[in-house]
Amino acid sequence: MLSIRSPKDFWAGILFIGLGIFAIAIGSNYHLGTAARMGPGYFPRILGILLIVLGAVIAIGGLRVRGERVPPWNWRATFVVLGSVIAFGYIVEKVGVAVGTVFLIVAASAASHEFRFWESLVAGVLLSLLAVGVFVEALGLQLPIWPQFLH
């Protein structure tokens, strides 16, 4: 009989497998296409397959190697991170991607017991530059970069 030697790894693997199955189920409603001409269902299915494989490797490792137990759920951190993401969704059109991303990173980082404001601010600025570069400049999404009152 198999025993779970590393519950943290085992259940993380099971979670990845579940997310992979969910991605494949969602992607199955869309046209797959080919590798040369990818349809809208191509990426979710490939991502789902990769998640399932990764999850299986992690879960099997959890059966073989002794590891950590699953820690108790941190509800405060959950609500802080989810709240910051929801707040970002509400404020991004008014304050822009640059300021909104910095806010999101600093606010979500506050969920950690190792929170350091200045480190979070630097990470927020760097990720803000990345977000503007990828989503606004490279992908051409119609999102304001700066707050409305600066236009």
Q: What is the DSSP letter of 103?
A: H
Q: Give a yes or no: residue 108 inside a domain.
A: yes
Residues 88 and 43 in one domain: no
Residue-level pLDDT at 105: 97
pLDDT-above-90 percentage for the chain: 66
Cα 71 off chain centre by: 20
Q: Give a yes or no: residue 69 inside a domain.
A: no
Residues 99 and 32 in one domain: no
| Cα dihedral 91, 93, 96, 98 sign | positive
Residues 46 and 80 in one domain: no
Q: Give a yes or no: residue 49 inside a domain.
A: yes
Residue range(s) defining the domain that contains residue 17? 7-64
Q: Give a yes or no: residue 56 inside a domain.
A: yes
Q: What is the DSSP letter of 126?
A: H
Residue 69: CB atoms within 10 A of its CB come to: 9
Instruction: Encode pLDDT of 6-17 as tens digits.
Output: 999 999 999 999
Residue pair 71/46 in contact by the 8 Å Cβ criterion: no
Closest among 57, 141, 21 to 92, alpha carbons compared = 141
pTM here is: 0.66
Q: How many domains does the chain have?
A: 2
Q: What is the residue-averaged pLDDT of the chain?
A: 91
